[in-house]
């Protein structure tokens, strides 16, 4: 996982370097490694398999020395004698993971999970291997399963929180970290991550004590001092923030973001020479950071050094052409130098930016008007509003997306496809456009393109529950049941009241003969949506399949009570009655079912 710093503001997002959410993943994996070595040492040798036991013991020793190739060879040799040994599959998987062979590690972790389904550490390892392979969805699913099996698995919580933070799923990350805190109130491990998550959620007052707790245990952590400074600054405590930024630069004089933040703090205090010194250092350390270069340019202009100010501002604009503050300051500096034509050009660019923003505002207003027309089912008027928006701002992908939605409602599907493609041309990671295009391909029986677009939808926005649901449904239709179940589980984690996703997952589990889990899904639907008759019917079908005829009849009767014209429930009740010998009552239910739906078989 790459280093990541919270998205606090444009300035902080562009400036911060060196702060990382990956520490939680590394810490969590250290826990995992301890588990594997312990498991291997304690794993008892099966009688008559001394060779396998010796191989395992040697493999553990090589793992401790990080001689992965030799350890892997020995674990595989042990498995040749004892292929059903879950511990050895697990240890082999971890050695493969640390060697960087994620795909092979996944296969071995899956074997361990298959042989020992309730093993939290194996699910944790499988989730970590999926993350190594870049499959965040599967990683989250396995880590959640590890935590479900063992809520005290703090390493899995920490690892999951790191992934959630990298995907900007801050609320759930906070939940995992707070649960970890409750389990181990004196453990500083989650504090830094929790501080970052609170900053991300806009609550610096909660972030401050978390960073302070972390620093009490890790007083030389540069990024933690820096982030504490950011939190203090956002909380209005400028002097304390400045002190933390200075501690960061004392610990690491090459930490550019702290120099930049010191410059900002000193500028606000009126210490322009001190601000300029720190902006110079920040720009030296971060020569491709447009905000640092802009701040340096502004400070140089205030100090009267126009040539250097102009050079710094031009470099900032090369990196970020729409940085208005740099463009405005550059215009002023050029005018001061007598370069009136160039100054006028910069000011003209600013006016064009303003005009563009005005047109953009008008386009967005048309989009909002169009959305209201969609809500009132005025499809044609909505399409016209979106077309006008696209004419005003041809580079605004939202106009084309909603135009596609309106055209879908009007039934002009080829035009809808063209509109979605235009939206994606302008914004390749437009998740909703990928999703709707995938659904259209699915309607056209084009499974390949449908799956491709739906996968791109969930990659573009991992928080879009509807995209996970549609992908899950498409995977189920193509018999990829395991993947489908993962997508539906993800949809439910994002939107627990997603009835359709819960019902479909229940159906998949029922199809896999996982009766108890399927029944749990249907019961959850009933608990959340008591009027949803289909859940009672499907639960009744499970009991009918299991031979629990009294329970089946009760569920079918409840489905009919909730929805009296539910033909399938009448028919299924007839089947249950027939099996219990209640022939006349069964005949009545069959007749009712066929009256309601003539397609019901005789």
Q: What residues have CB less than 8 Å from 522, skipping those under 6 apart?
A: 503, 506, 535, 536, 538, 539, 542
- Cα angle 539, 540, 545; round to 5: 100
Q: 40 pLDDT exceeds 60? A: no
The answer, yes or no, to whether residue 327 has pLDDT greater than 90, is no
Residue 20 has pLDDT above 80, yes or no: no
- Considering the chain, what percentage of its residues have pLDDT values greater than 70? 90
CATH number of 358-427: 1.25.40.10
Q: Of residues 156 and 43, which shows the higher confidence score?
A: 156
435-446 mean pLDDT: 94
pLDDT band at 36 (very low <50, low <70, confident <90, very high): very low
* All CATH 1.25.40.10 domain ranges in the chain, comma separated: 1-167, 358-427
Q: Is the pLDDT of residue 348 over 90?
A: no
Nearest Cα to 593, choosing from 133, 576, 580, 360?
A: 576
What is the 8-class DSSP label of residue 44?
A: P
CATH code of domain 1-167:
1.25.40.10
pLDDT of residue 152 exceeding 60, the answer is: yes
**Number of other CB atoms surrounding residue 51 within 10 Å:** 14
Are 165 and 28 a contacting pair, CB within 8 Å? no
Rounded distance between C-alpha atoms, residue 235 and residue 226, angstroms: 14
How high is the pLDDT of residue 34? 41
In this predicted structure, the answer to whether residue 18 has a pLDDT above a threshold of 80 is: no
Q: Does the pLDDT at position 24 exceed 70? A: no
Structure confidence at residue 345 as a pLDDT band (50, 70, 90): confident
Portion of the chain with pLDDT greater than 90, in percent: 69
Helix, strand, coil distribution of the chain in percent, nearest 5:
80, 0, 20
Taking the model in full, what pTM does it have? 0.55
* Integer Cα distance of 187 and 257 in angstroms: 28
Inter-axis angle of helices 324-336 and 340-375, to 10 degrees? 160
Distances (CA, A) of 145 to 123, 396, 518: 7, 41, 16
Q: Between 348 and 241, name the one with better pLDDT.
A: 241
Q: What is the mean pLDDT of residues 313-342?
A: 86
Reply yes or no on whether the pLDDT at 270 is more than 50. yes
Cα–Cα distance, 450 to 444 (Å, whole number)? 9
Kindly state the tokens that stand for 566: 């539910």
Whether the per-residue pLDDT at 304 is higher than 50: the answer is yes
Query: H or E element: which one contains 567?
Result: helix 567-579
Whole-Å CA distances, 279 to 30, 248, 265, 368, 491: 39, 16, 11, 42, 46
């Amino acid at each position: 996982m790459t280093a990541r710093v919270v998205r606090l503001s444009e300035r902080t997002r562009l400036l911060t370097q060196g702060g990382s959410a990956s520490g939680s993943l590394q810490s969590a994996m250290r826990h995992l490694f301890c588990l594997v070595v312990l498991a291997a040492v304690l794993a008892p040798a099966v009688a008559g398999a001394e060779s396998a036991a010796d191989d395992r013991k040697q493999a553990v020793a090589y793992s401790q020395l990080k001689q992965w190739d030799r350890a892997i060879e020995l674990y595989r040799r042990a498995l040749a004698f004892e292929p059903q040994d879950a511990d050895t599959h697990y240890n082999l998987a971890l050695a493969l993971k640390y060697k960087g062979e994620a795909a092979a590690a996944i296969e071995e972790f899956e074997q361990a999970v298959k042989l020992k389904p309730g093993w939290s550490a194996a699910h944790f390892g499988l989730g970590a291997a999926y993350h190594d392979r870049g499959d965040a969805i599967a990683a989250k699913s396995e880590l959640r399963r590890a935590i479900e099996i063992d809520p005290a698995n703090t390493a899995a919580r920490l690892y999951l929180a790191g992934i959630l933070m990298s995907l900007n799923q801050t609320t759930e990350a906070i939940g995992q970290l707070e649960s970890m805190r409750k389990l181990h109130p004196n453990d500083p491990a989650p504090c830094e991550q929790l501080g970052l998550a609170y900053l991300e959620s806009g609550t610096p007052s909660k972030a401050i004590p978390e960073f302070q707790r972390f620093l009490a245990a890790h007083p030389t952590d540069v990024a933690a001092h820096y982030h504490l400074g950011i939190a203090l600054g956002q909380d209005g405590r400028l002097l304390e923030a400045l002190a933390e930024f200075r501690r960061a630069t004392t610990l690491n004089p090459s930490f550019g973001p702290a120099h930049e933040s010191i410059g900002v703090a000193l500028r606000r205090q009126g210490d322009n020479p001190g601000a300029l010194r720190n902006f110079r250092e920040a720009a030296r350390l971060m020569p491709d950071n447009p905000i640092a270069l802009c701040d340096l340019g502004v400070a140089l202009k205030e100090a009267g050094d126009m040539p250097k100010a102009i050079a710094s501002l031009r470099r900032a604009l090369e990196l970020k052409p729409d940085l208005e503050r740099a463009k405005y300051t550059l215009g002023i500096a050029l005018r001061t130098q007598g370069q009136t034509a160039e100054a006028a050009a910069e000011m003209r660019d600013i006016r064009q930016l303003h005009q563009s923003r005005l047109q953009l505002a008008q386009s967005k207003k048309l989009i909002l008007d169009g959305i209201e027309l969609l809500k009132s089912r005025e499809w044609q008027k909505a399409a016209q509003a979106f077309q006008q928006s696209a004419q005003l701002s041809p580079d605004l992908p939202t106009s084309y997306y909603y135009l596609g939605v309106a055209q879908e409602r009007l039934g002009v599907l080829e035009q809808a496809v063209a509109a979605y493609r235009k939206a994606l041309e302008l914004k390749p990671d437009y998740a909703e456009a990928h999703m709707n295009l995938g659904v259209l391909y699915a309607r056209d029986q084009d499974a390949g393109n449908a799956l491709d677009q739906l996968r791109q939808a969930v990659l573009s926005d991992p928080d879009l529950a509807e995209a996970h649901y549609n992908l899950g449904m498409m995977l189920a239709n193509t018999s990829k049941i395991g993947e489908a179940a993962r997508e539906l589980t993800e949809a439910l984690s994002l939107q627990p009241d997603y009835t359709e996703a819960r019902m479909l997952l229940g159906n998949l589990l029922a199809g896999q003969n996982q009766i108890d889990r399927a029944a749990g899904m249907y019961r959850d639907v009933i608990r959340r949506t008591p009027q949803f008759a289909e859940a009672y019917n499907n639960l009744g079908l499970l009991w009918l399949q299991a031979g629990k005829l009294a329970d089946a009849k009760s569920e079918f009767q409840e489905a009919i009570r909730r929805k009296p014209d539910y033909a399938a429930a009448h028919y299924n009740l007839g089947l249950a009655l027939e099996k219990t010998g209640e022939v006349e009552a069964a005949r009545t239910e069959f007749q009712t079912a066929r009256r309601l739906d003539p397609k019901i078989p005789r």
